[in-house]
Amino acid sequence: MRKFLLTVLAMLSAVAVYARPYKVTGTVYSDSGEPLAFANVAVESTSIGAVTDRNGRYELTLPGEGEYVIEASFLGYRSASRPVKGMVSSPVDFCLKEDLTNIGAVVVTGTRTPKLVTESPILTRLISPEDIRKADVTDISELLQAELPGIEFSYSMNQQVSLNMQGFGGTSVLFLVDGERLAGETLDNVDYSRLNLDNVERIEIVKGAASSLYGSNAVGGVVNIITKRATEPWQVGLDTRWGAHGEQRHGASVGFDAGRFNSMTDFQYYRIDSVHLGEGDYTKMYGHYNYNVREKLTFKVSDRMSLTARGGYFFRERDYQKTVKDRYRDFSGGLRMNYDIDDANTLEASYSFDQYDKSDYYTVTDKDIRDYSNIQHSVRLLYNTVFNGKHTLTVGGDALYDYIMTYQFADNGSHTMYSADAFAQFDWAITDQLTMVSGLRFDYYSQTDPRVSPKLSFMYKPDRHATLRMSYAEGFRAPTLKEMYMDFDMASIFMIYGNPDLKAENSRNFSMSYEYAQSRMNFTANGYYNRVFNRISTLWNTELNGMKYMNMPTIDVAGADVNLSVKYPCGFGAKFSYAFTHEFFSPGEVRTTDTRPMSATLRLEYGRTWRNYGFNLSLSGRWLSPLDTNVLTSESSYQDFEAVHYPGYMMWKLSLSQTVMRAIDVVMTVDNIFNYKPDYYYYNSPMTTGTTFSVGVSVAIEQLFRKY
């Protein structure tokens, strides 16, 4: 018994020693050897953290001699981490490399494999979490217009939002959320109000044809919205924003990262009152409200396999009339498996579901009548293998079930389409300086002709700062069920008829770009030429005495983009972007375009961060050139036009954001600071009534309890 007691006491003593807290110290340096004051140092998957002093030194208290990963981070530098095991007696130092312009960020959209943005053979524009926060906007349309020239969101019939991206409309630009397609459309555009930014980690934009990887609709480009994962053991965020015209936005998020489970739940509510404008085609903008709830749950089955489940619900109601209100709903869900077979081979399998519905709500009778429903089921298999540690082969395939019921079909009927595809891409590092990416995709459709989409891209890096890219790619857009089978009475003015014999749109895209990147400056210049065959549009049909979907003659679009961003450790930063677009018209052809030839964006900012306080002051502007075009003058003919001139305009916004205790953010914004108002409100003029003010507050509750 005595020996047993002594053994137990010895074990308890050992446990006590093992569990005894101990301190870890070190210094955080920049790559130039200077100590970084007020850098964050944290222990992953715990609430333990510290901030470096003015000499870059930190001190952490670990609970015992276990295995930990310590990460150091500082604004404008790439984060670094080091594993710690057992009792550490020597200092744990970190050397952080400058990354003031996000050149160390990872993107996935251009090649479906993770790559540094400067190492991707496909030129990718990244909108970072910092850019999203500074923009102080609600949905994707506001953000893209603030960050990218050449993109304009205007209005079409019934005040539905319409996209134009350098000559391509909403049907030709593919929007994805975590790589998955969206169901539903509102006058040939997805419902952009679905895409609020409360849970967005980053946005990746690839301009030009991308159908070799993404299939239909990737004619003019791809916009991929990457959602957030929880980064703390537990985190709770609350935010609210108030603005002009009764605008209000309220949101909450709850997340945790605990062992094998990672969860992020988000909720957002938004509303704005109707806005009365002046003289024009639009004299009143309809008010609306919406709410959106989403869940993303990841379970780590093993060190090599993880499962991610997601689900969401969206609801929007628009004040179209006093007795009738438009309602829009979306139900979405999915399951994805990621399996690292070994260090060189990965497998991804996924299932996605999306249902987008529209209905008319009659306030007098309290009836809600659904008259549109688009349901999509899709499955995907994606396999990557790496040869010799630097060449990557990607193969995969998708299958899609697409069902639409709509009031625009005869007798509110429905139609179904099935599609399947197979694709392959080879990322070949020919030398340390030269990379080639080639891809090919075959798409089958049950209702229309199959398509083959090739791609060939080259990237050459003459030195560590400069990159040259050249690409040829084809894109296509299969005709939609609506375009093939529409039979719709347009307000008793004329009929719109579908065409089951439509051919797919097809584009051939040539592009060349130059990029120069270093830690404090990034410059890109990109030129492109697009030739689009069989573009789908409506034409007046004399025999039918109505409009009919038809394939149009060949259209040529050329243009160029220039982007420059700089950021300095003193806190000053600037970002300038310019886009030029030219659409070619044959001699004698009526010029009917919605594309403004030139546009630009500019943001100037200055900010500093101390231990418990930080601020950022930014001035951002957006300029759009005038547009001379022709519009229809008859409601019963598609041949009578008149020349119109849409004036150019410029809008500026001033924002001040302040961070207190690294947990509370206060953002105050003055929008349209020079009080611009259109003389006449038309479909692509800004629907502004002058200068407006807004204020927002967000709180990261877990940061209030973090030990610094």
Number of domains into which the chain is organized: 2
Amino acid letter for position 430: I
| Average pLDDT value over all residues in the chain | 89
Q: Cα(654)–Cα(618) distance, rounded to whole angstroms?
A: 6
Q: Is 427:113 a contact under the CB 8 Å cutoff?
A: yes
Residues 6+ apart with CB under 8 A from 629: 591, 592, 593, 594, 643, 644, 646
Looking at residue 636, what is its pLDDT? 53
When pLDDT is averaged across residues 606-626 and rounded to a whole number, the result is: 92
Amino acid letter for position 554: T
Position 16 in a domain: yes
CA separation, residue 601 to residues 145, 623, 653 (Å): 9, 6, 11
Position 686 in a domain: yes
Position 532 in a domain: yes
Residues 456, 335, single domain; the answer is yes
Which of 596, 577, 595 lies closest to 532 in space, CA to CA?
595
Task: Tell me the two tokens of residue 427.
Answer: 């990322």
Q: Cα(308)–Cα(310) distance, rounded to whole angstroms?
A: 7
Position 523 in a domain: yes
Looking at residue 8, what is its pLDDT? 47
Looking at residue 524, what is its pLDDT? 95
* pLDDT-based confidence at residue 9 (cuts at 50, 70, 90): very low
Rounded to 10 degrees, what is the CA torsion of 692, 316, 407, 404? 120
8-state DSSP, 705: T
* pLDDT-based confidence at residue 51 (cuts at 50, 70, 90): confident
Beta-sheet pairing, 248-258 with 234-242: antiparallel
* pLDDT-based confidence at residue 321 (cuts at 50, 70, 90): confident
Position 430 in a domain: yes
State pLDDT tens for residues 157-199. 788 899 999 889 888 999 999 999 999 998 889 999 999 888 8
Which of 701, 705, 670 lies closest to 688 in space, CA to CA?
670
Residues 59, 183, single domain; the answer is no
Q: Cα(264)–Cα(287) distance, rounded to whole angstroms?
A: 30
* pLDDT-based confidence at residue 390 (cuts at 50, 70, 90): confident
Looking at residue 23, what is its pLDDT? 86
Residues 518, 597, single domain; the answer is yes
The pLDDT of residue 12 is above 70? no
Task: Tell me the two tokens of residue 433.
Answer: 């300086």
Residues 64, 176, single domain; the answer is no
Looking at residue 349, what is its pLDDT? 97
Residues 89, 183, single domain; the answer is no
Q: Cα(261)–Cα(38) distance, rounded to whole angstroms?
A: 31
User: Could you tell me the CATH number of the domain that includes residue 467?
Assistant: 2.40.170.20
Residues 533, 658, single domain; the answer is yes
Q: Cα(425)–Cα(439) distance, rounded to whole angstroms?
A: 4
Placement of tokens 């200077």 in the chain: 34
Q: Is 47:707 a contact under the CB 8 Å cutoff?
A: yes
**By mean pLDDT, which of 102-106, 241-245, 287-291, 382-386 is the weakest?**
102-106
Residues 595, 651, single domain; the answer is yes
Residues 144, 56, single domain; the answer is no
Residues 326, 411, single domain; the answer is yes
Residues 562, 599, single domain; the answer is yes
The three-state secondary structure class of 422 is strand
Q: Where are the alpha helices (DSSP H) in 83-206?
A: 129-135, 140-147
Position 162 in a domain: yes
Quickly count: other Cβ atoms within 10 Å of residue 632's Cβ. Answer: 13
Quickly count: other Cβ atoms within 10 Å of residue 271's Cβ. Answer: 15
Residues 58, 179, single domain; the answer is no
CA separation, residue 353 to residues 183, 279, 332, 358, 375 (Å): 9, 44, 5, 17, 8
Q: Could you list the residue range(s) of the whole structural domain that residue 24 is in?
A: 2-96
* pLDDT-based confidence at residue 116 (cuts at 50, 70, 90): confident
Q: Is 460:436 a contact under the CB 8 Å cutoff?
A: no
Last residue of a domain, one of 64, 96, 128: 96
User: Could you tell me the CATH number of the domain that includes residue 61?
Assistant: 2.60.40.1120
Looking at residue 707, what is its pLDDT? 67
State pLDDT tens for residues 480-520. 999 999 998 877 778 899 999 999 999 999 999 999 988 78
* pLDDT-based confidence at residue 634 (cuts at 50, 70, 90): low
Last residue of a domain, one of 36, 64, 96: 96
Q: Is 635:619 a contact under the CB 8 Å cutoff?
A: no
Task: Tell me the two tokens of residue 413.
Answer: 């009927």
The pLDDT of residue 588 is above 80? no
Position 463 in a domain: yes
Residues 570, 657, single domain; the answer is yes
pTM given for the model? 0.89
The pLDDT of residue 529 is above 90? yes
Q: Cα(670)–Cα(695) distance, rounded to whole angstroms?
A: 9
Position 101 in a domain: no
What is the enclosing helix (H) or strand (E) of 358? Answer: strand 345-362
Quickly count: other Cβ atoms within 10 Å of residue 660's Cβ. Answer: 13
